[in-house]
Structure 1
């Protein structure tokens, strides 16, 4: 998998998850409103980075029939993200979260999502067309939050559909994003993650999350376990520290980029994951993909909120660069 993520050109990618209404505290005490969520953030950044590559990026979820849900979908379409596979559940609403940041840019989230439409994305007979459509994507991307917000029934139906899709050649990308409060208990989360990781081709892992979930003593233990589960490629995110990347060719360490002032760390991991995947899908090697991830994440954390203005998107290192070359 070092040369390219897939042997054939990519034309369709589906990202599964939950988009929420984002409220952000501002300096004047007012609240700014936007839309966000881990896989939606990744979808936006992925689409921006693949804009000229002829790749269709779809978001797969469920929303309500309210005005906020309609505005949400309009924002996706403005970013070039397809919403044809979105389920509309009458009478339901999107979830909501509030971001509070401290002087160092570290954030705290408050959530209201218990009745969100996305919870029932794969429930009921009307979900069958969406489940069947998963096999039509060359790449599917989901996160630990994508799994956590579903009902037990919906999660089981998703697992079955993912197994069928992978059997027909679909590649699965998983971002661990472990949020303990979304799970009934740590064992339930571990079981779900293990099942998904055994289907995963590329894992985009935040070290702190996996250390908390699985109790890994160090990075070596994590890589050994992922290899046992059959994950072909792992990118281990360690915040401001270097990233560790392991595939069948071995392991590499890629330094991050210095940031003079952190404004808001929201979506740092999501943007890293999107840039890493975008690079790999265009033929970049894992070490260059990690540099893409660092470059975008370093830019994102210098802006408030999950999604930076399109004009602020940074130039990426050339796909052919080695670790020692200059961007």
Structure 2
């Protein structure tokens, strides 16, 4: 049985749903300049991997992280964090002469965050460079799903990005489904036209797009969600979940258009990883048989909890209780 996101997978799938999440984990520093700070780890796809692993534990979802790290103490510690969270690391490259990227995070009184990055020489930039990457690239076709973001694309060398795109195309031909979270960060690209070209190529390979409205409006200049949905239909994306911060989520999929209201939050502490957690919960629900509307409710519920805590990863004990999906009887043989 080949499961697609156009039809909800059934509860009695004969094997786990294996997801490879491609990207970069960084050293996260939090505090005020010139003062003491706390240190942990984060990154958009790593955040999604952890939340997906938590939500999929015992429910037939296996989340593996695909990246490159150094051989330093920070790299060892972040890899141990992934293992502790149940995130697989068998396709993590170790580049001994490189280090992880680093960022400082500050939040204002409304919980909005500002970042300062040091990532130019990060190991993850070279994950798909050289013959040492061949096995990792081939392994992508062994997964049911590959999840990546616009940041995953932006940090790579030009050659590494091209090799990744080729591998994704080959994996998709063999039945792997591609999930893309746009996460557009202008400072990571040489110019907007380069980013638009890479995103357009990526969207032609995408089965499920998890899109932040402000990012795509800035990159492509869409006037409204209707224009975005029309463009994504022309790219051939089968399912689009349009994230709009505290506003409702809009969904376009083969069964129609839907709007799912967001949850109200009394006090926002930190909006870091709000979109990443939404995406992880949406995908977790879909992989367990939930319909798109229920997946969006999962996304809103988890994101609403995440923004009430500092940092990208909330304590496991703070994870909200999410109702198991009502499984569809429809699957594609």
Mapping of residues 49-64 of structure 1, within 5 Å = 49-64=55-70
Cα pair 1:3 1:284 within 8 Å, conserved: no
Cα pair 2:6 2:238 within 8 Å, conserved: no
Task: Give the TM-score taking structure 1 as reference length.
Answer: 0.95
Q: 1:157 aligns with which of 155, 163, 186?
A: 163
Mapping of residues 195-234 of structure 1, within 5 Å = 195-234=201-240
Mapping of residues 250-269 of structure 1, within 5 Å = 250-269=256-275
Mapping of residues 233-312 of structure 1, within 5 Å = 233-312=239-318
Please give the per-residue CA displacement for 1:62-87, whole angstroms capped at 9, x wherever unaligned.
Answer: 00011110001000000011111100
Aligned to 2:37: 31
Aligned to 2:331: none
Query: Structure 1 residues 99, 5: CA separation in 2 closer, same or farther (over 3 Å shift)?
Result: farther
Please give the per-residue CA displacement for 1:207-253, whole angstroms capped at 9, x wherever unaligned.
Answer: 00000000000000000000000000000000000000110111000
Cα pair 1:244 1:252 within 8 Å, conserved: yes
- Rounded Cα–Cα distance in structure 1 between residues aligned with 2:16 and 2:44: 22
Query: Structure 1 residues 270, 6: CA separation in 2 closer, same or farther (over 3 Å shift)?
Result: farther
- Rounded Cα–Cα distance in structure 2 between residues aligned with 1:113 and 1:207: 26
Cα pair 1:122 1:158 within 8 Å, conserved: yes
Please give the per-residue CA displacement for 1:169-211, whole angstroms capped at 9, x wherever unaligned.
Answer: 0000000000000001000000000001000000000000000
SS of 2:90's equivalent in the other structure is: coil
Cα pair 2:145 2:176 within 8 Å, conserved: yes
Cα pair 1:122 1:154 within 8 Å, conserved: yes
- Rounded Cα–Cα distance in structure 2 between residues aligned with 1:219 and 1:280: 22
**Range that drifts further, 160-169 or 54-63:** 54-63
Q: Say yes or no: does 1:130 pair with 2:125.
A: no
Please give the per-residue CA displacement for 1:121-150, whole angstroms capped at 9, x wherever unaligned.
Answer: 000111101011110001000000000000
What is the RMSD computed on CA atoms of the aligned residues? 1.6
Q: 2:93 aligns with which of 83, 87, 108?
A: 87
Aligned to 2:184: 178
Query: Structure 1 residues 201, 10: CA separation in 2 closer, same or farther (over 3 Å shift)?
Result: farther
SS of 1:241's equivalent in the other structure is: coil
1:28 shift after superposition = 11
Aligned to 1:18: 24
- Rounded Cα–Cα distance in structure 1 between residues aligned with 2:52 and 2:114: 25
Q: Say yes or no: does 1:40 pair with 2:46.
A: yes
Query: Structure 1 residues 164, 260: CA separation in 2 closer, same or farther (over 3 Å shift)?
Result: same
Higher RCO (C-alpha under 8 Å, 6+ residues apart): 2
1:274 shift after superposition = 0.2
Gaps of 5+ in 1: 322-327
Cα pair 2:83 2:89 within 8 Å, conserved: yes
How many residue pairs end up in the alignment? 321
Cα pair 1:10 1:281 within 8 Å, conserved: no
Please give the per-residue CA displacement for 1:100-120, whole angstroms capped at 9, x wherever unaligned.
Answer: 000000000000000000000
- Rounded Cα–Cα distance in structure 2 between residues aligned with 1:57 and 1:165: 17
Task: Give the TM-score taking structure 2 as reference length.
Answer: 0.94
